[in-house]
Each structure stands twice: as C-alpha cells, then as structure tokens.
Amino acid sequence: MRRFVLLTMVTALVLPTLLLPAAAHAQGTQQATGSPALEISTPFPAKVIGIGEELTLDLNLRGNGSSKIVNLQMQDVPANWNVSFRGNGRMVNSVFVLPNEAAEVDLRIEPPADVQSGTYNFTVLADDGNGSRASLPLQMTVQDRLPPKLAIESERPTLRGEPGNALRFDVSLRNEGDTDMTVDLNAQAPGGFTVTFQSGGQDVTNLPISGGATERVTVVAEPRDDVQAGSYPFSITARSDAAEANIPLTAELVGRANLVFTTPDARLSGQATLGSDNNFKLTVRNDGTAPVRDISLNASAPTGWTTTFDPPTITELGPGQQLEVNANVRPADQAVAGDYVLNFSARPAEGTTRTMDFRVTAVTSTWWGIVGVVLIAVAIGVVGMAVMRFGRR
C-alpha cells in the first residue's frame, strides 16, 4: 500500500515536467508554420509570347516581421536568355521590404532572337541573408507569332431608313494577329451620302487595336433629303501598314412624301366679285422622294359661298412633280363687300393634310357702277331738258 501511494506521488511530480517541453514544442511549430517570413508572387506566373517578343512581369515581395533587404536571383535560366530585375527603370539586385508591406520590382525577360518554340521553366529566388527565403516558379511558352490579319464584320449589314435620317451600322474590327496595329478607316460613299465613323461617341478616322483584340465602330451613313428611294450599296475599308479588310454595307431608302400646297406666286389673297364666279390658281407640289396618291381638294368657306376645284382629286403626284389647280369661288348672293377667309385643304390618302388660309376681298361688279353713271347722266339730261323747256315760259 505504501509503495502504491509513493508511486502515485512520484508520478504526480514527474509527469508535469515531462509534458511542459512537449507543449512548448507544439507552440513553436504553430508559430513556425504561420505566415512565412518572406513571400514573393506575381499575378500571372505562366505566360505565352510570340517569337521575337520580350516580357516584363510584376513581382511583389512581402516581409512578415521586421524590415529587411531581400536579395534577388534567377535559377534555371535558359542559355542566351537575358533576365534582369528592375526598379524605377534601373537594374537592381535587391529590394528593401518594410514590415507587412508589399515591395514591387519588375522582372525583364528577353529571349534570344533564335529562340525555339516551346515551354521554358525558371525560378525567382529571394533571400534576406538571415535564413528567410522564398521562391517563385515561372513558366513561359514561346510560340510562332501570328501574321498580321484584320477581320471586319457586321451583324446587320443592311439597314432601312428615310432620306435625311442617318443610318447607323455597328461594325466589329478584329486584330487576328499578335502585333498591335493602327487601322485607318475609309468609306466609298454613294452619291448623296455622307459617311463617318464613331468610336466611344467620338468621330474617328483611325483606331488602335491590340493584338488579338476586337474594337467596335459605328458607321454613320447620312443621306441628303433629296436622295431618291432605292438601294444604295457601299463599302467600308479598314487598312493598316500590314493588313487590310473590307465589308459591303447597304442602305435601303424608302421614299418620304412631302406635299406642298400653295399658290403659283405664294400670295395667299385675292379679289372676288359679288354675284360672279371667280377663279383662283393653286399649286399642289411633291417635294419628297415618294409619290403622293389620291389627293382630295376641299374648301371651308363662309355660309352661302360655293367652291369647286378643277380637278377635284389628284390620282398621283410623283417626286418633284407639281400640278396647277383652279379653285372656282362664288360669293353668297347676300354677301356684301368686304374681306373673307376661305380655308383650302389638300388631303392625301396617306400622310399629312396640307391646309391654306386664303383671304378674299369681295367687291361689287363694275357693271353696276356703269349703270349708275348712265342713270345719273340720264337724270341730269331729263332735268336739263325740263329746265330748258319750261324755263322759256
């Protein structure tokens, strides 16, 4: 019994001393396996370039702890390749890293002119000289460069509109080569059209396109108001120093009628004799690019007045055509001399009705004046004869 109690007491005293080193070792491992003392990274550690191209990689170094100077080296660099670290435009061999802050340095990689296509692997090494190290494996794939090539396309190469309204074609320009290029834009515009190019809402005549990139351009084709209805094909050319592409586009114009209702001399007034038929000449003209059909002529006149037209209707009036119409106006029998307003209208089967307010000055006939003068003369003659005859007595 005494042995058991003694053994228990010894165990209670010795066991904690044995466990303390183990606990301390576990804590040290956790610290050691936490954030590394030195880190190095780049956003894209594997890249593809064409033969004859150079490459610059952005490297980020971070030190978790105290400030330190980190030395940089390259490992497994292929023969005849030039590799250098650069900071602020100059070659460097080390970089100063502040605690918990990233330091940036560029890695310039220049393959030889006779480099062969393939995949090349090398490693960036970082060492602070105090046992903290980091490495970054990189991979570069070199391949034959694609020849310069341009492609141009449009999802809607044919648009329909009216004269005077701009047509906007959306066009995609794709640089299918590896080399950046500046592309000049040209249009072989049809007669009566103005063609311009827009990118980002601004008028442009050329456009830079990176290798493998696509740019969108808006081709604005604006016809004049007097361009006739029809189909107008034209071509767009995109040209750089080493490549060229073109695309055919078509603007389909549907005619737009423009009915004009006036008088031959543009005067909107006239004189009418009471009790008589009076003729006024009117002009119906089509200044549009599509025919106007089934035009009916009407008038709104004062009560008792009558108005007829010759012809009363116009079957068709083509673009640029005009027709003279006679409006016969007879004032009401009870009308008195003065100014009156008549409203003439020309209503097509389709489109806008044109109206015209025409002021008419009503006057009495000159025959009544002549008759009055004659009657006065007769009266004077009768009186004169009476005076002569009875005056002698």
Q: What is the pLDDT of residues 196-209, one digit of tens each?
A: 999 998 999 999 99
Helices and strands (H and E) in the chain: how many:
2, 29
Tens digit of each residue's pLDDT (9 = 90 or more) over 226-276: 888 899 999 999 999 989 999 999 999 988 888 999 999 999 999 999 989
Report the candidate in 74, 70, 138, 82 with the shortest Cα–Cα distance to residue 108: 82
* Parallel/antiparallel/unpaired status of strands 55-63 and 102-110: antiparallel
What pLDDT does residue 66 have?
80
Above 70 in pLDDT, residue 332? yes
Four-way CATH pick for 150-253: 1.20.1290.10, 1.10.580.10, 1.10.3720.10, 2.60.40.2310:
2.60.40.2310
Architecture of the CATH domain 38-143: Sandwich (2.60)
**Distance between CA 114 and CA 354 in Å, rounded?**
80
Residue corresponding to tokens 């094909």: 233
Scored b (16 or more CB within 10 A) or e, 285-322 reads bbebbbbbeebebebebeeebebebeeeebeebebeee
What percentage of the chain has pLDDT greater than the value 70? 84
Q: Are 117 and 142 in contact (CB under 8 A)?
A: yes
**Residue count (the chain):** 393
- What is the fold, at CATH topology level, of the domain defined by 259-367? Immunoglobulin-like (2.60.40)
pLDDT band at residue 100 using 50, 70 and 90 as cut-offs: confident
Residue 385 has pLDDT above 80, yes or no: no
Q: Measure the CA–CA gap between 26 and 19, rounded to whole angstroms.
A: 11
Q: What are the residues facing 255 on neighbouring strands?
A: none
Q: What is the pLDDT, as a whole number, of residue 252? A: 95
Give me the residue spans of the domains in the chain.
Answer: 38-143, 150-253, 259-367
In our burial notation (b when 16+ CB lie closer than 10 A, e otherwise), range 223-255 reads beeebebeebebebbbbbeebebebebbbebeb
User: Judging by beta carbons within 10 Å of its beta carbon (0-12, 13-18, 19+), is residue 156 exposed, middle or buried?
Assistant: exposed
State the pLDDT at residue 14: 42
Please state the separation of Cα 376 from the chain's center in Å. Answer: 83
pLDDT at 372: 59
Same fold, 38-143 and 150-253: yes
